[in-house]
Amino acid sequence: MRRPGDAWGRRPGQRQQQPRLFGGGVKGLTGRLSVAVLVLVGCTLWLFSTIGGNRSSFGVEHFDLDKLWGTAPSGGWRPSSSPRSYWPPPPVETNGYLRVRCNGGLNQQRSAICNAVVAARIMNATLVLPELDTNSFWHDDSGFPGIYDVEHFIKSLRYDVRIVESLPETRSHGKTKKMKAYQIRPPRDAPLSWYTTEALKKMKEHGAIYLTPFSHRLAEEVDEPELQRLRCRVNYHALRFKPHIMRLSNAIVSKLRAQGHFMSIHLRFEMDMLAFAGCFKIFTPDEQKILNKYRKENFAEKELEYDTRRAMGKCPLTPEEVGLILRSMGFDNSTRIYLAAGELFGGDRFMKPFRALFPRLENHSSVGPVEKLEENTQGLIGSAVDYMVCLLSDIFMPTYDGPSNFANNLMGHRLYYGFRTIIQPDRKALAPIFIDREKGRLAGFEERVRRVMFNTKFGGPHKRMRPESFYTNSWPDCFCQMSAKSTGNQCPPENVLEVLDSRLQREEDDIPGPAKTSNRTDMVAEEI
């Protein structure tokens, strides 16, 4: 597939030979004027022909859909979050216990779990299995053991931190009671130094601390490459959903893929995001009242003007706009699409234009037949199933990536999972095109959309730029090259896990009895 600029046919370095000028005098002046006119006419014709040629070339230029259904070019990179340097096992004696309560939705909690492991590592703390604040957001009491494979989580991180399922019991004056943890509210985006000073001091005083709430409580950008790779080990290897969620997700993917490729779309056209973005004008007066009420109750007061927000690309794409983008790229109405979305705001009238363009739409409730699918996909479990189906789909398209933990984390996971294709629309660049369309200016609409979409990264390796999150793009931190020019990018030895295992074994040889195997099991193959 050609990259941006290829379709324009530019050839740098070419230079036209200058015409030879006539001599002086009137005759010479006439000659020079004639030449000037000819040159002007020639340049004008050349300019129009070039513009016309470019437009024609761009007009017939299409995306190579066969390539899009595959993976993005890797540039010789592959995912690798194993340690690159000496990585000691967690010490036998720890400084105490760390409890955290992860708030927010499934993917916000996922990031918080990664941060909790890093915090436990730098504090030399024993991590208590993270708590998920399921009731306030999802009205779901599944908790960590109901969503994630606990045994796999502990096993995968045995080289990094010691993990227990609950605080131990203590004996005092002949009585046994559960240890209490000292509660602390950590600062947002706290640096590593806060954990190794303030938090560690309280841990040593009380034996255990409880950090709550624990969302975005550790800075994403840290200067320790091994800690960043630890985050990736947690996110992409240790956090595996429970077997019944994996089976359900695989059943849906098999059903979708039985008829060929399929695309997943995270359609973030939901009340909370529309209220947050301040995108009200396209809704009825009653719907606008609902959005305004939700915004006042849940977000900081701020005057937002729809037309300004719309022009800046701050509004989530409507379902119809998503369909128009895909059609402009060359996808036809036979394309099978899996929709990962909550309840769409505004009713079915917003879905009808999209469904008219792409009638083969599915979600986890409709793709059946899967036994008891509806009752098995509520709350956090439903979000987990959507996550896995989107991860395994051939193409993933987020329609709103800021802030959207689901879309952002999925893009990072697909990047790590072999550079799987991502179609990420540039809403700011597309906004004037859609605004013109709404005003009846339809000329060249699809060409203009294609021109914007040609600049998409499509899920290949690219430099992380603000506001892009580490969880959205962990390249190059969690990747390596087999034939790297820089030593920092070289892949670790193939036997790195054996080395880590032997180090851990040496540490545990001196531990008596049951404690010796409390955080260690035989090596297993890590699966997504």
- The SS3 assignment for 344 reads strand
Q: What whole-number distance in Å separates Cα of residue 127 and Cα of residue 156?
A: 14
Cα 352 off chain centre by: 28
* Closest among 157, 168, 105 to 132, alpha carbons compared: 105
Q: What whole-number distance in Å separates Cα of residue 438 and Cα of residue 88?
A: 60
Q: What whole-number distance in Å separates Cα of residue 29 and Cα of residue 41?
A: 18
Helix (H) or strand (E) holding 361: strand 361-362
Q: Hunting for tokens 């016309």 — which residue is that?
A: 52
Outline where DSSP puts E strands in 165-281.
169-172, 175-178, 182-184, 208-211, 263-266
Record the tokens describing residue 526, joined without a space.
Answer: 């890590």
Q: What whole-number distance in Å separates Cα of residue 464 and Cα of residue 472?
A: 9
Q: What whole-number distance in Å separates Cα of residue 490 and Cα of residue 284?
A: 57
Give residue 69's region: left, alpha or beta (phi > 0; psi -120 to 50).
Answer: alpha
What pTM did the predictor assign?
A: 0.81
Q: In degrees rounded to 5, what are phi and psi of residue 89?
A: -70, 160
* Under 8 Å between Cβ of 65 and 331: yes
Helix (H) or strand (E) holding 382: helix 379-392
Tens-digit pLDDT profile for residues 354-393: 999 999 999 887 886 555 555 555 677 888 999 999 999 9
pLDDT for 417: 94
pLDDT for 357: 97
pLDDT for 40: 46
Burial class of residue 139 in the structure, from the number of CB atoms within 10 Å of its CB (0-12 exposed, 13-18 middle, 19+ buried): exposed
Q: Length of the chain, please?
A: 528
Low-confidence ranges of the chain (pLDDT < 70): 1-61, 134-141, 368-378, 402-403, 507-528
Q: In Å, what is the CA distance from 94 to each residue of 44, 67, 119, 519?
A: 78, 51, 13, 13
How are beta strands 208-211 and 263-266 bridged, if at all?
A: unpaired
Preceding omega of 186 cis (within 30 degrees of 0): no
pLDDT for 486: 81
Q: What whole-number distance in Å separates Cα of residue 256 and Cα of residue 304?
A: 41
Q: What whole-number distance in Å separates Cα of residue 445 and Cα of residue 448?
A: 5
* Under 8 Å between Cβ of 329 and 255: no
The three-state DSSP-derived secondary structure of 111-134 is HHHHHHHHHHHHHCCEEECCEECH
DSSP symbols for 12-26: TT--PPPPPPP-SHH
Tens-digit pLDDT profile for residues 71-120: 999 999 999 999 987 899 998 899 999 999 998 888 999 999 999 999 99
Instruction: List all residues 6 or more positions away from 88 whose beta carbon is below 8 Å from its beta carbon.
Output: 503
Output helix, strand, coil percentages for the chain, rounded to the nearest 5. Answer: 45, 10, 45
Q: What whole-number distance in Å separates Cα of residue 90 and Cα of residue 515?
A: 14
